[in-house]
Copies of this chain bind each other. A is one copy, B any other.
Amino acid sequence: MSEAIDRYVQQNEQRFLGELKEFLRIPSISTLPEHNGDTHRAAEYAAEKLRLAGMENIEIIETERHPLVYADWLHAPGKPTVLCYGHFDVQPPDPLELWETPPFEPSERNGNLYARGSADDKGQMYSHIKAVEALQAVYGKIPVNLKFLLEGEEEVGGISVAEYVADNPEKLKADVALVSDTEMYEPGLPTLNIGLRGLVYLEIEARGPGRDLHSGLYGGAAPNAVFGLVELLSKAKDANGRIQIPGIYDDVAPPSAEEKESWTHLPFDEKEYLQNEVGATALTGEKEYSVFERTWARPTFEVHGIAGGFTGVGAKTVIPAKAVAKVSIRLVPNQSPEKVLASVQEFVAAHTPEGIQCSVRVLSSGPGLMVNPDHPAIRVAAQAFSDIFGKPTVFIRSGGSIPIVGDFANHLGIPTILMGFGLPDDGLHSPNEKYCIRNYFDGIRTLAHFFEEYGK
């Protein structure tokens, strides 16, 4: 560990925090077109800060939707090249009424910074920029070659960055990619993610009668679009949480005995997890699998939202003509999104109730994947993480999806270090999302330390 870097970070903590707050004030909600200008502003903000940190060849790359930001610094001949990735877009903040302080007015409480995007991913990606700044300020150079590729569509499927990676393998050539968009297993425990689930995100629409009908006059004979959709969706999983889409489990690669064994050593209290994290009366899902297996190594079927008919205050007795559900299937390594999509289409066709017509629209799709924990860059990253946090690094998976990791593997042929500084209770995608301020600073130190060690 470099004392000079530690000192620099310490002396600049308040400024680093102030800059992050400024970044978080930009409501770069990529899914809402009315915020397109904000998402662009977030790109400009990141580009400018890369420039000030001493990165070169900075580009804001316009796309059909939201811009990408590229930058590089390639003055470490003979040293490896790291491709840093992050995203500056965020999830919508609704339901707004559940936020204690407004989502885009960052607020410090109990050592945390509360704001939409604080952990996912502005706070984490901004650590990369500040690590570069620290190295440049202390040494006048960076110990490895660096490329940055930042995007503004991660929360809406990341189409543009995927195309850009596919189209520019030479420009983006690197030895390893580095992504900070995951969480530590528990506070203070350095954690590398070596597995991710993929995602197929769909909208299923059901149509029944040609118009909303009076349920008194037609009830008993006319199909009901909401009930039709309910019937269809209910058939997707049995009471034990087992997905009923044909063939869905065929290609699932189970974790190795060794990996499964390592999970049993992770500190985990199912009761506490249920009460403090999930906050429900019971867990659900396939009981014959552990919670780690269910959330990391098994596919899931979730309904994220449903709407149809009259949902205002009071009573309206209609038979609704239309209903729609947002649905996703999480995929584990070795499952093909295309094959799963075909099975879903088949399932929907087979189980659409009489009198109902269903259509499926694909919003995004990407596979799950694994990285090899014995890769040299992963080993150095694990050691660097361990050095700063003072504990051995654990290897876990995440049940979430980071499609870009698949793109880096497929188009650049490189593994990705998933070195995240988030915490399990950060509330990603939820009201009151926060980022631990201590982790923000220690993340910057860890990243700078990793670059130093990887450059040796």
Q: Which residues of A contact B (CB under 8 A)?
A: 31-33, 91-92, 94-95, 98, 155-157, 183, 197, 199, 201, 208-224, 226-227, 230-231, 233-235, 237, 239, 241, 273, 277-286, 291, 294-295, 298, 300, 302-320, 323-326, 328, 330, 353-357, 363-364, 398-401, 424, 427-431
Given that A230-B234, A306-B323, A355-B282 are known contacts, is A220 also in contact with B314, CB under 8 Å in the complex? Answer: no
**B residues within 8 A CB of A239?**
231, 353
Question: Which residue on B lies nearest to A299, using beta carbons?
Answer: B220
Cβ contact of A311, chosen from B208, B302, B312, B324, cutoff 8 A: B324
Cα A92 to Cα B315 in complex, Å, equals 10
Residue in A219, A241, A273 whose Cβ sees the most chain B Cβ within 10 Å: A219
A210 touches B428 (CB 8 A): no
A400 touches B216 (CB 8 A): yes
B306 touches A230 (CB 8 A): yes
**B residues within 8 A CB of A221?**
273, 278, 283-285, 291, 294-295
A220 touches B303 (CB 8 A): no
B311 touches A399 (CB 8 A): no
A317 touches B311 (CB 8 A): no
A214 touches B280 (CB 8 A): no
Given that A224-B303, A324-B311, A330-B220 are known contacts, is A429 also in contact with B233, CB under 8 Å in the complex? Answer: no
Give chain B nearest CB distance to A387 CB in angstroms.
27
Other A-B contacts than A31-B314, A215-B300, A220-B298, 10 sampled, CB-CB below 8 A, are: A31-B313, A217-B295, A217-B398, A221-B284, A302-B317, A304-B309, A305-B308, A305-B320, A306-B307, A317-B429
B284 touches A311 (CB 8 A): no
**B residues within 8 A CB of A95?**
212
Cβ contact of A215, chosen from B208, B298, B302, B316, cutoff 8 A: B302
A201 touches B98 (CB 8 A): no
Cβ contact of A326, chosen from B233, B298, B310, cutoff 8 A: B310
Given that A31-B312, A305-B309 are known contacts, is A281 also in contact with B355, CB under 8 Å in the complex? Answer: yes
Give chain B nearest CB distance to A118 CB in angstroms.
14
**B residues within 8 A CB of A320?**
303-305
A316 touches B278 (CB 8 A): no
Question: Which residue on B lies nearest to A216, using beta carbons?
Answer: B400
Cα A31 to Cα B315 in complex, Å, equals 7
Cβ contact of A316, chosen from B294, B305, B306, B319, cutoff 8 A: B305
B304 touches A307 (CB 8 A): no
A216 touches B201 (CB 8 A): no
A278 touches B218 (CB 8 A): yes
Residue in A155, A222, A324 whose Cβ sees the most chain B Cβ within 10 Å: A222
Give chain B nearest CB distance to A265 CB in angstroms.
19
Give chain B nearest CB distance to A189 CB in angstroms.
16
**B residues within 8 A CB of A226?**
303-306, 325
Given that A31-B312, A157-B315 are known contacts, is A399 also in contact with B216, CB under 8 Å in the complex? Answer: yes
Question: Which residue on B lies nearest to A235, using beta carbons?
Answer: B234
Given that A216-B197, A216-B399, A310-B305 are known contacts, is A211 also in contact with B318, CB under 8 Å in the complex? Answer: no
Given that A215-B300, A320-B304 are known contacts, is A280 also in contact with B220, CB under 8 Å in the complex? Answer: no
Cα A310 to Cα B93 in complex, Å, equals 11
Cα A302 to Cα B224 in complex, Å, equals 7
B304 touches A316 (CB 8 A): yes
Give chain B nearest CB distance to A289 CB in angstroms.
8
CB-based closest 6 A-B pairs: A210-B279, A216-B400, A305-B309, A234-B234, A31-B314, A220-B294
List, sorted by A's number, 24 A–B pairs whose CB atoms are closer than 8 Å.
Answer: A91-B316, A94-B310, A183-B217, A199-B317, A209-B278, A211-B431, A215-B300, A219-B330, A220-B295, A223-B278, A223-B280, A223-B281, A224-B284, A224-B302, A283-B355, A302-B319, A304-B309, A304-B316, A304-B320, A305-B311, A307-B307, A309-B326, A316-B326, A317-B401
Question: Which residue on B lies nearest to A239, using beta carbons?
Answer: B353
Give chain B nearest CB distance to A200 CB in angstroms.
11
A214 touches B430 (CB 8 A): yes
Cα A155 to Cα B214 in complex, Å, equals 12
Cα A214 to Cα B355 in complex, Å, equals 35
Give chain B nearest CB distance to A322 CB in angstroms.
9
Question: Which residue on B lies nearest to A29, using beta carbons?
Answer: B314
